[in-house]
Amino acid sequence: MGYELFFVVMGLSVNLGALSGTAFILLPVTCAVAFAGKLVPAYAASRVGDLGPEDSATVAVLVAMRGLIELVALNVGLSVGLIDRRLL
């Protein structure tokens, strides 16, 4: 339950008004490329490692979700002053 609330609060703190016209196009493209950049290699490596298609897909999704931990770390670092908003 704690993680769900964290992502709701984090999502509500996003300022979409700060994005320009081209950023609205680049944001979903960047997210899709980043997500595929984790899914495809993780799936391929799992298949090479003799896992079946379903197990490989599970590993790929779990690797992609690993990036959510980075968001938690960034938000904590920002809230305690370890990083500045200019880095984001």
Q: Given the structure tokens 């509500």, which residue do they identify?
A: 12
Is 41 in contact with 27 (CB distance < 8 Å)? no
Per residue in 12-58, pLDDT tens? 777 777 777 787 788 889 888 988 998 999 999 999 999 999 999 99
For residue 88, pLDDT beyond 60: no
- The rounded distance, in Å, linking the Cα atoms of 9 and 41 is 31
* H or E, element range at 38: helix 21-48
Reading the block at residue 39, the tokens are 């899914």
Classify the C-alpha dihedral 48-54-59-63 as positive or negative. positive
Whether residue 5 has pLDDT greater than 90: no
